[in-house]
Chain A
């Protein structure tokens, strides 16, 4: 073992400086791992030539059509032989992490041992879709490495035109802003639809992400086809002692500048305590100096800003649930799009609620599978067919919370107006019932 190291003058420059160096890590592996010796050789060549030298291919495990990212070197000599033969095959296993990315050291050490045995010893925690990426393995080792990981309770993630590995925030495990059980929601939706992950047959990728509140720590609106985000319907809860503790430290200027004036809907006001108009929808915090802070919950959009500034003093309400948005995606091909609200609020507490979320997810996947064009994301499909047709197909009712403002042009045929008004009345009556 321990092939001679290649000269890597450019990569060597990434060993200095205060941030942990992946190059130093690779060199440590290379001491007794020839694949990493050659990986460093190829990587240096990429740095030298400003050029990537990997191509894809087909590598997998028995029973699955995805989850392995095949990489073969394109850096060959005149006779067609790889310049860096030990890294000529350098595949990645995408493995789904525990929801919320929690680990004990026993599990991490075991993963390191498995990857030292079968692969290069290089692992990323985590890829942009949330997978643990076990990087650098030869084709012949892929199956035994997967078998060992799989027997211990770990499964491959998604790749290609498939349901992708999901992410949820730390949420209920350690955050007072969490509005639902993010890990349970993730595991309900993903683990009931694994066929679409392991056997890629969708028009293109489909991502679910789960964030416990509007701070959206896993970027669900921007990065997922269906975002589940925690919210609440009732009033912001007030812990008066903690609000006063904030006020004592920060004073009126910070309260006004950092909290009141930064509320996007101007729903917060500071009034004389004697002038407080208590109301069913008003949260009141007594500031202890004759003033009070009032929040008009009917006008609050649950943006999370004031809860972030006064942690624990202001908390989500008790009537918690989720908002569902659909159609977030990256650049290709129409430009990046944010998700759009399709369900303003649904409860997510009981077994039946989770069943409903699961049905909704399945419905989204089915509609996508049947209606999207090849290589089209859900956001692009909605762009093409229109939100109303999409909602019709999914079986969801329209709601003014889905738009920022109504149509700005008259280019629409409205001869069904009276029927639509009747439907609006029906929806109103159904909501009141």
Chain B
């Protein structure tokens, strides 16, 4: 009798057999690129070989029919090779320029927006949400769909000062990552503890150790070993929830949406930056989250009108200053914008540099 099959520990596959032949041939030998129009990139190699890339947005969570349709387009209008970007856009590479326009038409006709290149608003990096996460405060794919519907024109055109990267995260762990604008769940109440379950489900010392502010301690509740939270200390971060689901942090009413701006991963111009809190307290309003969308659109409109060419969100705010950012966007400045976490004093203005 055959035993169980042992896995082949092959790791990350070699991309070479799957790569477009022109990219493979000119690997490491590219010398020029340009941006002929939104959604299209042109690259030229040392050898003189050329390749055009047509980029289209997808829903990331793709059913097999969508995947087959994208493949049909690649086989009929493209050259059978595609790649995905870090933000789940699909890229079709063709060595024949005459294929570019028919490819754009085929994608657009099938409902895949062509764009997302250069100074556009790119697809939102997103997480799993209600669809698959075990600790989500909200959905991810739905928030992204709702927002991208609103930002569609900014994806298919390139009219922003520089590229704009967005992310969403369904809890404060922020799996969506740093972004020019990030939309993140923000819990506002300490966890509600289901004391009947803690002893059986949670490794209590591990939960105590997870708390960033030492607000959790073991306790005997109704004669059962459980945990208690010092609600004055609690910062409502939800760190205790993954290791201990009875520490219910998600609250349909009180878990809100916050908006953060000015995250930048690139080293271009300034060093990479983390995004900063600008708005909170927005309702978790499925299925289209109109209040969060309105704040994002407002910020984008002001940035678009006011930033100089090549300024990312962070560069723009660095030039005009935070008081002007709040003034121009009309977003209220509150005590919650003033940091009190470690290193906070380095975020204060220790000068008479004030813009009037």
Chain A residues in the interface with B (C-beta under 8 A):
10-11, 13-14, 16-23, 25-26, 28-29, 39, 43, 46-47, 49-56, 61-64, 69, 71, 90, 92, 96-109, 111-113, 115-116, 121-128, 130, 133, 135, 143, 146-147, 150-151, 153-156, 165-167, 169-170, 172-176, 178, 181, 183, 186-187, 190-191, 194-195, 197-198, 214-219, 221-223, 229, 239, 242, 254, 257-258, 262, 264, 301-305, 308-309, 311-312, 315, 330-336, 338, 374-375
Contact = CB atoms under 8 A, between A and B. Distances in A.
Given A61-B7, A262-B310, A336 B174 contact: yes
B9 to A, nearest CB: 5
Given A112-B68, A304-B267, A375-B209, A175 B18 contact: no
Contacts of A221: 265, 267, 272
B172 interface: yes
B212 A97 contact: no
Interface stretch (B130-138, B220-228, B295-303): B130-138
Nearest to A263: B269
Contacts of B266: 214-216, 304
Nearest to B153: A18
Contact of A174 (B13, B30, B64): B30
Interface residues on B, range: 35 or more
B279 interface: no
Given A25-B61, A62-B7, A172-B28, A47 B286 contact: yes
A52 B136 contact: yes
B30 A176 contact: yes
Contact of B63 (A29, A186, A304): A29
B110 to A, nearest CB: 9
Interface string B56-71: 0111111111111011
A230 B172 CA distance: 31
Interface string B15-39: 1101110011001101111100000
B132 A54 contact: yes
B12 A166 contact: yes
Given A105-B80, A111-B67, A155 B62 contact: no
18 contacts: A17-B146, A43-B131, A63-B6, A101-B15, A106-B80, A108-B82, A109-B71, A125-B58, A155-B13, A172-B30, A173-B27, A176-B31, A223-B265, A258-B310, A302-B267, A303-B269, A334-B342, A374-B206
B325 interface: no
B81 A104 contact: yes
A21 B63 CA distance: 10
Interface of B: 4-16, 18-20, 23-24, 27-28, 30-34, 43-44, 51, 53, 57-68, 70-71, 74-75, 80-86, 88, 90, 93, 111-113, 125, 127-139, 141-142, 145-146, 148-149, 152, 172-178, 206, 209-210, 212, 237, 239, 245, 250, 252, 255, 263, 265-272, 274, 284, 286-288, 308-310, 341-342
